[in-house]
Amino acid sequence: MANTQANNPLHGITLERIVTELEAYYGWAQLGRAVSIRCFTHDPSIASSLKFLRRTPWAREQVEALYVDMLRDQNTPDR
């Protein structure tokens, strides 16, 4: 039971870090297309995104899934 989170790529990563890294990787426009929520498409900011995502579980799940996909893409060697 010591390593219950060993296979969880989100373990120990804050929501702020997730949103910041996604924005740096994709940019607000592409992020808004990937996850269609107003805090990404209309006057986006880290603060407004965090406020919304902390209160909206379905949106947070989509953002976390996108983050995991981004990590997978970054760790895949070019062919």
State pLDDT tens for residues 33-77: 999 999 999 999 999 999 999 999 999 999 999 999 999 888 877
Q: How crowded is residue 73: how many other Cβ atoms within 10 Å of its Cβ?
A: 9
CATH class, domain 15-75, is: mainly alpha
Q: What is the pLDDT of residue 7?
A: 76
The owner of tokens 């870090």 is 17
Judge contact between 70 and 76, C-beta under 8 A: no
Would the pTM count as exceeding 0.85? Answer: no
Q: What is the pLDDT of residue 23?
A: 96
**Element spanning 7, H or E:** none
Q: What is the pLDDT of residue 79?
A: 46
Helices then strands, counting H and E runs in the chain, come out as 5, 0
| Domain locations along the chain | 15-75
User: Is the pLDDT confidence value at 4 over 80?
Assistant: no
User: Is the pLDDT confidence value at 1 over 60?
Assistant: no
What is the rounded distance in angstroms from the CA atom of residue 45 to the CA atom of residue 75? 27
Q: Hey, what are 30's tokens?
A: 């592409």
Q: Residue 32: left (phi > 0), alpha (psi -120 to 50), or beta?
A: alpha
